C-alpha cells in the first residue's frame, strides 16, 4: 500500500482562504500591490472588479481608487494584460514575464494565425501578412510616441488600421484590422491596457506599449506560476489547475513535479496539491481559528472564480442564482469561508443584499455583513456599479 496522504479538511481550506486571500479583517492588506501579490491575479475583464476586489481586502478602503490608479497608471507596479485562458487580468508587473511565457505564447500564436487567415481570405488577398507587418510596426511606433492612445487615436496616426475584412461562413462577420490587431498584440505581450476613458468603471481603455520583460523558458515559467498560485490557493486538484491555467493536463503534471508539490487528501475524497515550502507553512495544518469574517466580493472576484470545483465554499444549489449562463459569477456575500448570498447596488446607490443560505448564520453574521455593506458604500461614494456579466439574483436585487 502507498503512503497515506495527509487529510486537509474543508475547515482548514476555509481558514487558508481567509488568511491568504486577505479576507479576514486581521489579514487585510495596506496596498493594492499586497492584494495582487497575495492573489497572483485579479480578474480584469470587468474593470470595476479590480477596484472592488482590492477594496474588499484593504485595511483602509477609502483610498482604493487613488491607490489602484497610482499602481496601474503612475508607478506601473501592477499591469493589466492578457493571461490565462485568453482572459484579461491585473498582475504584479514583475510577474508579467512569467505569465507571458507560461500561458501567453501558445494563445498568441493561435491568435495571430487566425488573424492572418481571416484577414487574407476575407479581403480577397488584398491584405497580406507583409502589409500587416508594416501596419503594426507603424501602430506600435505611434503608440510609443503618444505614450497611451485609444484605437481611434492610433487610426488617426495610421489610417490603414481602418481597413476591413469579412470572415466566417458566408462573410457573416466584419472586423476592422485595428480591433483584431490590438487584441493579438495584447496576447503577445506587446501592448497592455492603459488608463480608461472616464471613471474607474469605464470599459473604454487606452493602450500602452508593454513594459519590457525578459523572455523566459516556458517550462520554467509554468513551474513558477503554478508555485505562486498554489501558495495562494492550494490545495487545488489537477482539474482546478488545468481550468485556471488553461494548460494541458500533461503541462500541469510536469509543473507539479518540478516544484515538488505535495499531494493531500480532501474531504470530498479527491486529491489536492500544496507547495512543499515549509517556510511558507503550506504543507502544515492551519489549525488556529480565524476571527469571524464577512465579505462582499464583486462579480468575477478571483476568490469566487479561483477553483473549478467550488462545492467546498459554494453550495451547488446556489449556482443558478449567482452565475450567468456562461459560468461567470456575480457579486457574492461570504461568511466564514463560504458563499451565502448575493449583493447588488440599486439605481440610487444603495447597497442591498440577500442571503440564500442561513445555516449557521446568526446575528453576528448579519451585523458583519451590514458593516461590510456600509464600508463598501462609503468608499464607492455613489459611483454606479453594474456588473459586466449580470446574474439572475443581482438583476433582481438591483431593480429594487
- Of the residues 209, 244, 276, the one at which a domain ends: 209
Q: Model confidence over 172-184: pLDDT tens digits?
A: 778 899 989 999 9
H or E segment to which residue 239 belongs: helix 238-245
Q: Is the pLDDT of residue 62 over 80?
A: yes
Residue 262: its H or E element: strand 262-266
Alpha helices in 125-176 (DSSP H): 129-146, 151-157
User: Are both 30 and 146 inside the same structural domain?
Assistant: no
CB 82 within 8 A of CB 187: yes
pLDDT at 171: 64
Write phi, then psi, for 209 (nearest 5 degrees). -65, 135
Same domain, 241 and 310: yes
In a domain, 106, yes or no: yes
Residues 176 and 243 occupy one common structural domain: no
The string of pLDDT tens digits covering residues 76-127 is 999 998 888 878 999 999 999 999 999 888 888 999 999 999 999 898 889 9
> Do 249 and 270 reside in the same domain of the chain?
yes
Q: Which residue, among 217, 302, 225, has the nearest Cα to 17 in the 3D structure?
A: 302
User: Do 225 and 346 belong together in one domain?
Assistant: yes
* Domains identified in the chain, total number: 2
pLDDT tens string 253-288: 999 999 999 999 999 999 999 996 544 556 555 666
Position 278 in a domain: yes
> Do 263 and 364 reside in the same domain of the chain?
yes
Q: Output the pLDDT for position 246.
A: 92
**Is 49 part of a structural domain of the chain?**
no
Rounded-to-integer distance, Cα 258 and Cα 72, Å: 32
Give residue 169's pLDDT band: very low, low, confident or very high (50, 70, 90): low
> Do the beta carbons of residue 24 and residue 18 sit within 8 Å?
yes
Residues 199 and 271 in one domain: no
Q: What distance in Å separates the CA atoms of residue 176 and residue 164, rounded to the nearest whole number?
A: 4
Least confident of 45-49, 197-201, 210-214, 284-288: 284-288
Instruction: Determine, yes or no, domain membership for 144.
Output: yes
Whether 155 and 248 share a structural domain: no
Most confident listed range (205-209, 278-282, 291-295): 291-295
Higher confidence at residue 346 or residue 168? Answer: 346
My answer on whether 398 and 284 are in the same domain is yes
| CA-CA-CA-CA torsion sign (382, 32, 236, 84) | positive
Query: In the predicted model, is pLDDT for residue 233 greater than 80?
Result: yes
Number of C-beta neighbours around residue 324 at 10 A: 17
pLDDT for 277: 54
Q: Does residue 142 sit within a domain?
A: yes
Higher model confidence: residue 289 or residue 169?
289
pTM, full prediction: 0.92
The last residue of one of the domains, among 178, 209, 240, is: 209
Q: Please compute the mean of the pLDDT values over residues 229-258 and round it to a whole number.
A: 96
Residues 256, 395, single domain; the answer is yes
Judged on CB neighbours under 10 Å (0-12, 13-18, 19+), 117 is exposed
pLDDT score for 1: 45
Q: What is the rounded distance in angstroms from the CA atom of residue 166 to the CA atom of residue 233? A: 43
User: Would 253 be classed as within a structural domain?
Assistant: yes
Together in a domain, 190 and 222:
no
Does the pLDDT value for residue 345 go beyond 50?
A: yes
Domain span including residue 18: 1-38+217-400
Where does a domain end: 209, 242, 277? Answer: 209
Q: What is the pLDDT of residues 123-143, one digit of tens each?
A: 888 999 999 999 999 999 999
Same structural domain, 347 and 371: yes
Amino acid at each position: 500500500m502507498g503512503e497515506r496522504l495527509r487529510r486537509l479538511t474543508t475547515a482548514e481550506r476555509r481558514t487558508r482562504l481567509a488568511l491568504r486571500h486577505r479576507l479576514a479583517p486581521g489579514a487585510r492588506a495596506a496596498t493594492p500591490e499586497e492584494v495582487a501579490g497575495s492573489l497572483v491575479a485579479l480578474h480584469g475583464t470587468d474593470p470595476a472588479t479590480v477596484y472592488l476586489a482590492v477594496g474588499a481586502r484593504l485595511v483602509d478602503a477609502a483610498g482604493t481608487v487613488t491607490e489602484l490608479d497610482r499602481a496601474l497608471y503612475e508607478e506601473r507596479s501592477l499591469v493589466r494584460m492578457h493571461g490565462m485562458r485568453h482572459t484579461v487580468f491585473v498582475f504584479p508587473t514583475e510577474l508579467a514575464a512569467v505569465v507571458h511565457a507560461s500561458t501567453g505564447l501558445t494563445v498568441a500564436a493561435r491568435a495571430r494565425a487566425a488573424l492572418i487567415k481571416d484577414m487574407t481570405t476575407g479581403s480577397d488577398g488584398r491584405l497580406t501578412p507583409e502589409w500587416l507587418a508594416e501596419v503594426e510596426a507603424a501602430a506600435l511606433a505611434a503608440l510609443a510616441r503618444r505614450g497611451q492612445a485609444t484605437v481611434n487615436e492610433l487610426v488617426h496616426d495610421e489610417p490603414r488600421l481602418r481597413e476591413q475584412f469579412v470572415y466566417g461562413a458566408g462573410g457573416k462577420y466584419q472586423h476592422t484590422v485595428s480591433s483584431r490587431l490590438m487584441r493579438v498584440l495584447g496576447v503577445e505581450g506587446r501592448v497592455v491596457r492603459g488608463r480608461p476613458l472616464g471613471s474607474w468603471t469605464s470599459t473604454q481603455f487606452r493602450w500602452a506599449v508593454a513594459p519590457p520583460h525578459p523572455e523566459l523558458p516556458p517550462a520554467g515559467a509554468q513551474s513558477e506560476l503554478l508555485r505562486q498560485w498554489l501558495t495562494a490557493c492550494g490545495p487545488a486538484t489537477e482539474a482546478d489547475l488545468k481550468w485556471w491555467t488553461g494548460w494541458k493536463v500533461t503541462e500541469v503534471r510536469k509543473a507539479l513535479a518540478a516544484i515538488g508539490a505535495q499531494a493531500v487528501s480532501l474531504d470530498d475524497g479527491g486529491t489536492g496539491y500544496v507547495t512543499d515550502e515549509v517556510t511558507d507553512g503550506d504543507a502544515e495544518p492551519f489549525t488556529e481559528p480565524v476571527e469571524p469574517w464577512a465579505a462582499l466580493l464583486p462579480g468575477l472576484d478571483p476568490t469566487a472564480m479561483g477553483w473549478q470545483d467550488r462545492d467546498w465554499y459554494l453550495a451547488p444549489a446556489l449556482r443558478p442564482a449567482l452565475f450567468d449562463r456562461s459560468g461567470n459569477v456575480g457579486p457574492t456575500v461570504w461568511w466564514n469561508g463560504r458563499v451565502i448570498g448575493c449583493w447588488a447596488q440599486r439605481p440610487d446607490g444603495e447597497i442591498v443584499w440577500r442571503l440564500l443560505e442561513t445555516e449557521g448564520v446568526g446575528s453576528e453574521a448579519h451585523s458583519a455583513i451590514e458593516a461590510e455593506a456600509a464600508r463598501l458604500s462609503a468608499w464607492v461614494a455613489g459611483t454606479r456599479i453594474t456588473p459586466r456579466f449580470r446574474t439572475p439574483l443581482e438583476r433582481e436585487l438591483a431593480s429594487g
